[in-house]
């Protein structure tokens, strides 16, 4: 699959992840969208005074880079078309990133079970969305 197509899939999956987490934060008051945009743990960047759109743009850049890397890694193992591989990958990414919540007072407490649940389910959905678009992209281009 072409890199440009994978980058677009990363963009779409990233926008959808952001939308899901923003909706969850609005409806539950759990700061999961804030955690998604949180840059408090990144040296140098944490000193920048970014607005929400700029922080969301950084999240999208990560998603645009992440999906092609994920596809290449899964392809090496013959798993690039398997939903479970993307869901597990999304879970691992979510688990790793949730730990950064301890570095900020603006994000959920590390022991907040519901915030963790919402965060993990959303990242599993990110993986499922990416896989669905990979499969759709392959069907449309006969790859």
Q: Which candidate, 109, 113, 107, places its Cα nearest to that of 32?
A: 107
Residue 87 — pLDDT band, cuts 50, 70, 90?
Answer: very high
pLDDT tens-digit map of 40-49: 777 788 778 8
| Mean pLDDT confidence for 96-109 | 91
- The dihedral over CA atoms of 119, 56, 97, 30, expressed in degrees to the nearest 10, equals -40
User: H or E segment at 27?
Assistant: helix 3-28
Consecutive H or E run containing 108: none
- 142 pLDDT band (50/70/90 cuts)? low
The predicted model gives 50-68 an average pLDDT of 95
Give the pLDDT of residue 41.
75
Answer for the pair 123, 70: CB distance below 8 angstroms, yes or no: no
């Amino acid at each position: 699959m072409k890199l440009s197509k994978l980058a677009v899939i990363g963009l779409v999956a990233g926008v959808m992840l952001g939308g899901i987490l923003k909706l969850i934060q609005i409806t539950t008051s759990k700061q999961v969208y804030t955690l998604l945009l949180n840059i408090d743990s990144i040296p140098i960047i944490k000193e920048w005074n970014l607005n929400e759109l700029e922080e969301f743009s950084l999240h999208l850049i990560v998603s645009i880079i992440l999906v092609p890397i994920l596809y290449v890694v899964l392809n090496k193992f013959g798993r690039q078309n398997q939903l479970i591989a993307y869901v597990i990958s999304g879970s691992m990414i979510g688990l790793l990133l949730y730990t950064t919540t301890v570095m900020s007072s603006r994000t959920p407490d590390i022991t907040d079970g519901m915030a963790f649940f919402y965060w993990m389910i959303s990242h599993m959905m990110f993986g499922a969305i990416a896989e669905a678009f990979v499969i759709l992209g392959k069907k449309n281009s006969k790859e």
